[in-house]
Amino acid sequence: MKRMWILWIFAILITILTAIYQRITGPTYPMSINIALDNKNYKFKLPRSNEGEKNAEIILNIPDTILKAKLFYRHYPANEQYESIDFERENQKLIAKLPVVPPAGKLQYYIEIKYGNEIKNILKEQPVVIRYRADVPGVIMIPHIILMFLAMLISNLSGLMVIFKKNNLFIYSVLTFALLVGGGIILGCFVQKFAFNEYWTGIPFGWDLTDNKTLVAVVVWLAALILNRKKDRPVIILIASIILLLIYSIPHSLYGSELNYTSGTISQG
């Protein structure tokens, strides 16, 4: 029993670290940048995701009132001219608001900062890409996140139990599979529908990596259940847990839904 608590602690740590890594390496996680102006360093976080039918705010925490800034933006992907808007000062901040685009629509943007006679273009050569999505109700999103987190936790625990030769693996396998189906397939479809107006954009309808990751995870754990139903095959459980760990290590929202402005259809970026 004492050793099981140790396995639980290790499983929790692995799950937390993997979740953090997946999140911060994803293409919708805010981009952190540093710039130097007049011997001063400024740090900004530039958004790469925007929820709801509202303007995306680009905020520069710069108290110096001499500094001016412009925001240049255009649709992505599109070969069009950039439009520009001026940042407006609100107390210690400069704020510019990107226009609203439909769910799964993307904009790319960069910033021009003027300080006296000095002009700096921030990320002009590699503009920031921001994706819009509709709001997902908390009653859908919160259970989805919890169930997916628990699926990863129980999967990690199952793998550790194999390594340390523990029993009752089949029970934990059933629980992992049920959590994946409930959180990833059932609630995941509703998250996708609310966010991008599509229930499923993975195989066979598309190549959305998030949906396809979920599908692979469910298939792998279903196979593990079937192969362990009549005879214990702990190596299969270990393989399934490792595969799920690798799946969860893939950056979140990579190759996600993307609006094609020309056709009006949603594909995968």
Residues 143 and 128 in one domain: no
User: Is 166 exposed, middle or buried (CB count within 10 Å of its CB: 0-12, 13-18, 19+)?
Assistant: middle
Last residue of a domain, one of 78, 112, 133: 133
Q: Kindly state the tokens that stand for 129.
A: 């890409």
Last residue of a domain, one of 76, 104, 133: 133
pLDDT at 56 over 80: yes
The domain in which residue 110 lies consists of: 38-133
pLDDT at 1 over 70: no
What CATH number corresponds to the domain at position 91?
2.60.40.10
Last residue of a domain, one of 102, 133, 164: 133
pLDDT of residue 236: 95
Q: Kindly state the tokens that stand for 223.
A: 């196979």
Residues 126 and 244 in one domain: no
Q: Give the mean pLDDT of 62-69.
A: 86
* 2: confidence class by pLDDT, cuts 50, 70, 90: low
Residues 112 and 150 in one domain: no
In a domain, 117, yes or no: yes
In a domain, 69, yes or no: yes
pLDDT at 183 over 90: yes
In a domain, 31, yes or no: no
Q: Which segments of 76-232 does DSSP mark as H helices, in order?
A: 138-163, 169-179, 187-196, 209-227
Query: In total, how many domains does the chain have?
Result: 2
Residues 146 and 253 in one domain: yes
pLDDT of residue 101: 93
Residues 46 and 87 in one domain: yes
* Distance set, CA 106 to CA 25, 51, 56, 127, 250 (Å): 19, 12, 11, 12, 21
In a domain, 19, yes or no: yes
pLDDT of residue 74: 96
pLDDT of residue 269: 56
Query: Any idea which of 16-20, 54-58, 108-112, 263-267 has the lowest mean pLDDT?
Result: 263-267
